[in-house]
Structure 1
Amino acid sequence: MAYRNIEGLDQLINMTNQLGQVPRKVARAAARAGGQADLVAVRNAAPVGSTGNLKASLTKKEERGSASNRGKSVFDIRFNPAFNISLVKNVINPGKYGGQNSRAYYPASQEYGFLHSGPRGFVPGYNFMKKASDEDSEAVKKAMIDKAISAIDKILESR
Protein backbone atom coordinates (compact mmCIF):
# COMPACT_ATOMS: atom_id res chain seq x y z
CA MET A 1 0.00 0.00 0.00
CA ALA A 2 1.21 3.46 -0.82
CA TYR A 3 0.63 5.30 2.44
CA ARG A 4 2.91 8.14 1.33
CA ASN A 5 0.28 9.27 -1.17
CA ILE A 6 -2.20 10.16 1.57
CA GLU A 7 -2.58 13.90 1.88
CA GLY A 8 -1.33 15.23 5.21
CA LEU A 9 0.58 12.11 6.23
CA ASP A 10 4.01 13.73 5.92
CA GLN A 11 2.85 16.64 8.07
CA LEU A 12 1.50 14.19 10.67
CA ILE A 13 4.80 12.29 10.75
CA ASN A 14 6.76 15.50 11.28
CA MET A 15 4.42 16.59 14.07
CA THR A 16 4.65 13.24 15.85
CA ASN A 17 8.44 13.41 15.62
CA GLN A 18 8.33 16.83 17.30
CA LEU A 19 5.97 15.55 19.97
CA GLY A 20 7.89 12.39 20.74
CA GLN A 21 5.25 9.99 22.02
CA VAL A 22 1.67 10.37 20.81
CA PRO A 23 -0.78 10.61 23.74
CA ARG A 24 -3.57 8.05 23.94
CA LYS A 25 -6.24 10.72 23.71
CA VAL A 26 -4.90 11.77 20.29
CA ALA A 27 -4.91 8.20 18.98
CA ARG A 28 -8.40 7.61 20.37
CA ALA A 29 -9.77 10.84 18.90
CA ALA A 30 -8.31 9.98 15.49
CA ALA A 31 -9.74 6.46 15.63
CA ARG A 32 -13.13 7.87 16.65
CA ALA A 33 -13.10 10.28 13.69
CA GLY A 34 -12.25 7.44 11.32
CA GLY A 35 -14.99 5.28 12.80
CA GLN A 36 -17.52 8.06 12.40
CA ALA A 37 -16.56 8.53 8.74
CA ASP A 38 -16.95 4.79 8.18
CA LEU A 39 -20.30 4.75 9.98
CA VAL A 40 -21.64 7.52 7.74
CA ALA A 41 -20.49 5.64 4.61
CA VAL A 42 -22.09 2.36 5.75
CA ARG A 43 -25.34 4.10 6.71
CA ASN A 44 -25.54 5.74 3.29
CA ALA A 45 -25.01 2.37 1.59
CA ALA A 46 -27.51 0.42 3.72
CA PRO A 47 -30.59 -0.86 1.93
CA VAL A 48 -33.78 0.81 3.09
CA GLY A 49 -36.84 -1.37 3.57
CA SER A 50 -40.32 -0.41 4.64
CA THR A 51 -39.30 0.55 8.20
CA GLY A 52 -35.74 1.89 7.76
CA ASN A 53 -34.68 0.11 10.95
CA LEU A 54 -31.65 -1.51 9.32
CA LYS A 55 -30.08 1.86 8.57
CA ALA A 56 -31.22 3.39 11.86
CA SER A 57 -29.78 0.54 13.91
CA LEU A 58 -26.20 0.99 12.68
CA THR A 59 -23.95 2.30 15.42
CA LYS A 60 -20.29 2.67 16.31
CA LYS A 61 -18.91 0.99 19.44
CA GLU A 62 -15.41 1.10 20.84
CA GLU A 63 -13.78 -2.25 21.51
CA ARG A 64 -12.59 -2.79 25.03
CA GLY A 65 -8.83 -2.71 25.32
CA SER A 66 -6.70 -5.00 27.39
CA ALA A 67 -4.05 -4.02 29.90
CA SER A 68 -1.30 -4.83 27.41
CA ASN A 69 -2.86 -2.71 24.63
CA ARG A 70 -3.97 0.35 26.54
CA GLY A 71 -3.24 2.75 23.68
CA LYS A 72 -5.19 0.73 21.15
CA SER A 73 -8.45 2.25 19.91
CA VAL A 74 -10.67 0.26 17.59
CA PHE A 75 -14.27 1.09 16.72
CA ASP A 76 -16.70 -1.48 15.37
CA ILE A 77 -19.59 -0.67 13.10
CA ARG A 78 -22.41 -2.87 14.35
CA PHE A 79 -26.15 -3.14 14.73
CA ASN A 80 -27.59 -1.77 17.94
CA PRO A 81 -29.00 -4.61 20.07
CA ALA A 82 -31.86 -2.33 21.13
CA PHE A 83 -33.27 -2.78 17.60
CA ASN A 84 -33.27 -6.60 17.80
CA ILE A 85 -37.02 -6.64 18.33
CA SER A 86 -37.44 -5.43 14.75
CA LEU A 87 -34.31 -7.00 13.22
CA VAL A 88 -34.99 -10.63 14.18
CA LYS A 89 -37.42 -12.21 11.72
CA ASN A 90 -39.36 -15.48 11.86
CA VAL A 91 -38.26 -18.20 9.42
CA ILE A 92 -41.11 -19.61 7.33
CA ASN A 93 -39.70 -23.15 6.90
CA PRO A 94 -37.16 -23.78 9.69
CA GLY A 95 -34.94 -26.79 9.12
CA LYS A 96 -35.48 -27.01 5.36
CA TYR A 97 -31.85 -26.13 4.62
CA GLY A 98 -30.30 -27.54 7.78
CA GLY A 99 -30.91 -24.65 10.15
CA GLN A 100 -33.05 -25.59 13.12
CA ASN A 101 -33.70 -22.08 14.43
CA SER A 102 -37.10 -20.57 13.75
CA ARG A 103 -35.68 -17.02 13.86
CA ALA A 104 -33.20 -15.28 11.56
CA TYR A 105 -31.15 -12.12 11.96
CA TYR A 106 -32.27 -9.74 9.20
CA PRO A 107 -29.02 -7.68 8.94
CA ALA A 108 -26.98 -10.85 8.35
CA SER A 109 -29.32 -11.93 5.56
CA GLN A 110 -28.97 -8.53 3.89
CA GLU A 111 -25.17 -8.50 4.17
CA TYR A 112 -24.33 -12.14 3.38
CA GLY A 113 -27.44 -13.55 1.71
CA PHE A 114 -29.86 -16.32 2.63
CA LEU A 115 -31.39 -19.55 1.38
CA HIS A 116 -34.89 -19.12 0.01
CA SER A 117 -37.34 -21.99 0.37
CA GLY A 118 -38.80 -21.37 -3.09
CA PRO A 119 -37.28 -21.88 -6.53
CA ARG A 120 -34.84 -18.98 -6.10
CA GLY A 121 -32.53 -21.01 -3.86
CA PHE A 122 -29.68 -18.89 -2.54
CA VAL A 123 -30.34 -15.15 -2.58
CA PRO A 124 -27.00 -13.29 -2.50
CA GLY A 125 -26.50 -10.49 -0.02
CA TYR A 126 -25.81 -6.87 -0.80
CA ASN A 127 -22.46 -6.80 1.07
CA PHE A 128 -23.23 -3.14 1.72
CA MET A 129 -21.06 -2.88 4.84
CA LYS A 130 -17.95 -4.34 3.23
CA LYS A 131 -18.36 -2.42 -0.02
CA ALA A 132 -18.94 0.91 1.76
CA SER A 133 -15.95 0.40 4.05
CA ASP A 134 -13.69 -0.55 1.15
CA GLU A 135 -14.84 2.30 -1.11
CA ASP A 136 -14.58 4.91 1.63
CA SER A 137 -11.22 3.85 3.08
CA GLU A 138 -9.42 6.93 1.76
CA ALA A 139 -11.96 9.26 3.39
CA VAL A 140 -11.57 7.36 6.67
CA LYS A 141 -7.78 7.72 6.53
CA LYS A 142 -8.13 11.41 5.70
CA ALA A 143 -10.52 11.99 8.63
CA MET A 144 -8.14 10.21 11.00
CA ILE A 145 -5.12 12.16 9.81
CA ASP A 146 -6.96 15.50 9.98
CA LYS A 147 -8.15 14.82 13.52
CA ALA A 148 -4.69 13.68 14.64
CA ILE A 149 -3.05 16.76 13.11
CA SER A 150 -5.49 19.12 14.82
CA ALA A 151 -5.11 17.36 18.20
CA ILE A 152 -1.30 17.29 18.02
CA ASP A 153 -1.28 20.92 16.88
CA LYS A 154 -3.21 21.91 20.03
CA ILE A 155 -0.68 20.05 22.19
CA LEU A 156 2.31 21.61 20.44
CA GLU A 157 0.80 25.13 20.75
CA SER A 158 0.25 24.70 24.48
CA ARG A 159 3.95 23.89 25.07
Structure 2
Amino acid sequence: MIKDNYQMVREFHQIFDDRIKERPTQLPNQEVAYRSEFMLEELLEFLVADAHGKSQIKARFVEIEAALKRAEEKVLMKKRPSYPDLVKQSDALGDLIYLAYGTFALMGIDPKEIITSIHQANLEKLFPDGRPHYDSRTKKVLKPDNWHGPESKIQAALEKQRILDM
Protein backbone atom coordinates (compact mmCIF):
# COMPACT_ATOMS: atom_id res chain seq x y z
CA MET A 1 0.00 0.00 0.00
CA ILE A 2 1.33 3.42 -0.94
CA LYS A 3 1.35 5.73 2.06
CA ASP A 4 0.20 9.30 1.78
CA ASN A 5 2.03 12.11 3.59
CA TYR A 6 -0.19 11.94 6.67
CA GLN A 7 0.26 8.16 6.98
CA MET A 8 4.05 8.55 6.79
CA VAL A 9 4.10 11.25 9.48
CA ARG A 10 1.73 9.23 11.66
CA GLU A 11 4.09 6.23 11.32
CA PHE A 12 7.01 8.41 12.46
CA HIS A 13 5.07 9.63 15.49
CA GLN A 14 3.98 6.12 16.45
CA ILE A 15 7.69 5.27 16.76
CA PHE A 16 9.20 8.52 18.03
CA ASP A 17 6.40 10.32 19.89
CA ASP A 18 3.45 8.04 20.44
CA ARG A 19 0.96 10.54 21.81
CA ILE A 20 -1.33 10.21 18.80
CA LYS A 21 -4.98 10.67 19.60
CA GLU A 22 -7.62 8.39 18.13
CA ARG A 23 -10.17 11.21 18.08
CA PRO A 24 -9.75 14.89 17.17
CA THR A 25 -8.33 16.61 20.25
CA GLN A 26 -7.26 20.20 20.78
CA LEU A 27 -3.62 20.66 21.72
CA PRO A 28 -2.93 22.52 24.97
CA ASN A 29 -1.13 25.87 24.76
CA GLN A 30 2.22 24.44 25.88
CA GLU A 31 2.14 21.81 23.11
CA VAL A 32 1.06 24.43 20.54
CA ALA A 33 4.09 26.53 21.50
CA TYR A 34 6.37 23.47 21.37
CA ARG A 35 5.17 22.38 17.91
CA SER A 36 5.19 25.98 16.64
CA GLU A 37 8.86 26.28 17.58
CA PHE A 38 9.66 23.27 15.37
CA MET A 39 7.64 24.78 12.52
CA LEU A 40 9.33 28.15 12.99
CA GLU A 41 12.77 26.53 12.88
CA GLU A 42 11.93 24.89 9.53
CA LEU A 43 10.48 28.14 8.20
CA LEU A 44 13.71 29.92 9.15
CA GLU A 45 15.74 27.23 7.36
CA PHE A 46 13.61 27.93 4.26
CA LEU A 47 14.19 31.66 4.70
CA VAL A 48 17.99 31.37 4.82
CA ALA A 49 18.40 28.52 2.30
CA ASP A 50 20.05 30.81 -0.24
CA ALA A 51 21.89 33.00 2.27
CA HIS A 52 25.68 32.80 2.19
CA GLY A 53 27.51 33.82 5.33
CA LYS A 54 26.40 35.09 8.69
CA SER A 55 25.75 38.65 7.49
CA GLN A 56 23.19 37.49 4.93
CA ILE A 57 21.57 35.19 7.49
CA LYS A 58 21.36 38.05 10.00
CA ALA A 59 19.80 40.28 7.32
CA ARG A 60 17.14 37.60 6.71
CA PHE A 61 16.38 37.50 10.42
CA VAL A 62 15.81 41.26 10.37
CA GLU A 63 13.36 40.68 7.49
CA ILE A 64 11.53 37.90 9.35
CA GLU A 65 11.32 39.97 12.52
CA ALA A 66 9.60 42.71 10.51
CA ALA A 67 7.31 40.10 8.93
CA LEU A 68 6.47 38.72 12.39
CA LYS A 69 5.53 42.20 13.55
CA ARG A 70 3.27 42.66 10.50
CA ALA A 71 1.70 39.24 11.10
CA GLU A 72 1.12 40.12 14.75
CA GLU A 73 -0.66 43.32 13.73
CA LYS A 74 -2.84 41.40 11.24
CA VAL A 75 -3.79 38.78 13.82
CA LEU A 76 -4.62 41.42 16.43
CA MET A 77 -6.84 43.24 13.91
CA LYS A 78 -8.75 40.14 12.80
CA LYS A 79 -12.15 39.39 14.17
CA ARG A 80 -11.80 36.16 16.13
CA PRO A 81 -14.20 33.50 14.85
CA SER A 82 -16.48 31.90 17.41
CA TYR A 83 -15.64 28.35 16.39
CA PRO A 84 -14.19 25.87 18.88
CA ASP A 85 -10.42 26.10 19.39
CA LEU A 86 -9.92 22.69 17.73
CA VAL A 87 -11.54 24.05 14.56
CA LYS A 88 -9.31 27.14 14.64
CA GLN A 89 -6.15 25.04 15.23
CA SER A 90 -7.14 22.73 12.36
CA ASP A 91 -7.81 25.68 10.06
CA ALA A 92 -4.41 27.23 10.80
CA LEU A 93 -2.53 23.95 10.26
CA GLY A 94 -4.47 23.27 7.07
CA ASP A 95 -3.53 26.73 5.83
CA LEU A 96 0.16 26.02 6.63
CA ILE A 97 0.05 22.80 4.61
CA TYR A 98 -1.78 24.57 1.79
CA LEU A 99 0.83 27.36 1.77
CA ALA A 100 3.69 24.85 1.79
CA TYR A 101 2.20 22.94 -1.15
CA GLY A 102 1.51 26.24 -2.91
CA THR A 103 5.15 27.19 -2.46
CA PHE A 104 6.19 23.86 -3.99
CA ALA A 105 3.82 24.62 -6.90
CA LEU A 106 5.37 28.07 -7.38
CA MET A 107 8.80 26.38 -7.43
CA GLY A 108 7.61 23.81 -9.98
CA ILE A 109 8.29 20.91 -7.61
CA ASP A 110 6.19 17.81 -6.98
CA PRO A 111 6.95 17.20 -3.27
CA LYS A 112 5.99 13.49 -3.08
CA GLU A 113 9.55 12.07 -3.42
CA ILE A 114 10.97 14.85 -1.25
CA ILE A 115 8.60 14.12 1.61
CA THR A 116 9.20 10.38 1.20
CA SER A 117 12.98 10.99 1.42
CA ILE A 118 12.54 13.06 4.58
CA HIS A 119 10.30 10.35 6.07
CA GLN A 120 12.85 7.62 5.33
CA ALA A 121 15.66 9.70 6.86
CA ASN A 122 13.53 10.40 9.93
CA LEU A 123 12.82 6.71 10.46
CA GLU A 124 16.58 6.08 10.33
CA LYS A 125 17.03 8.17 13.49
CA LEU A 126 16.60 5.07 15.63
CA PHE A 127 19.76 4.26 17.56
CA PRO A 128 21.47 0.85 17.53
CA ASP A 129 19.43 -0.08 20.62
CA GLY A 130 16.32 0.23 18.41
CA ARG A 131 14.99 3.25 20.27
CA PRO A 132 14.87 6.97 19.61
CA HIS A 133 17.03 9.23 21.78
CA TYR A 134 16.13 12.82 22.62
CA ASP A 135 17.98 16.04 23.37
CA SER A 136 17.43 16.70 27.08
CA ARG A 137 17.01 20.45 26.53
CA THR A 138 15.03 20.74 23.28
CA LYS A 139 13.34 17.31 23.37
CA LYS A 140 14.15 16.95 19.66
CA VAL A 141 14.95 13.52 18.28
CA LEU A 142 18.72 13.03 18.14
CA LYS A 143 20.51 11.65 15.10
CA PRO A 144 22.75 8.60 15.50
CA ASP A 145 26.38 8.98 14.39
CA ASN A 146 25.74 6.93 11.24
CA TRP A 147 22.65 8.95 10.24
CA HIS A 148 22.53 10.59 6.81
CA GLY A 149 20.15 13.39 5.95
CA PRO A 150 17.75 13.27 3.02
CA GLU A 151 19.53 15.91 0.94
CA SER A 152 21.15 13.57 -1.62
CA LYS A 153 17.82 11.83 -2.26
CA ILE A 154 16.08 15.21 -2.52
CA GLN A 155 18.71 16.37 -5.01
CA ALA A 156 18.16 13.21 -7.08
CA ALA A 157 14.38 13.73 -7.02
CA LEU A 158 14.76 17.34 -8.17
CA GLU A 159 17.18 16.36 -10.94
CA LYS A 160 14.73 13.70 -12.11
CA GLN A 161 11.91 16.26 -12.20
CA ARG A 162 14.05 18.65 -14.26
CA ILE A 163 14.77 15.90 -16.78
CA LEU A 164 11.13 14.91 -16.96
CA ASP A 165 10.07 18.51 -17.54
CA MET A 166 12.44 19.06 -20.48
TM-score (norm 2): 0.32
Q: Bigger radius of gyration, 1 or 2?
A: 1
Q: Whose strand proportion is higher, 1 or 2?
A: 1
Q: Whose helix proportion is higher, 1 or 2?
A: 2
Greater relative CO (CA pairs within 8 A, separation 6+): 1
TM-score (norm 1): 0.33
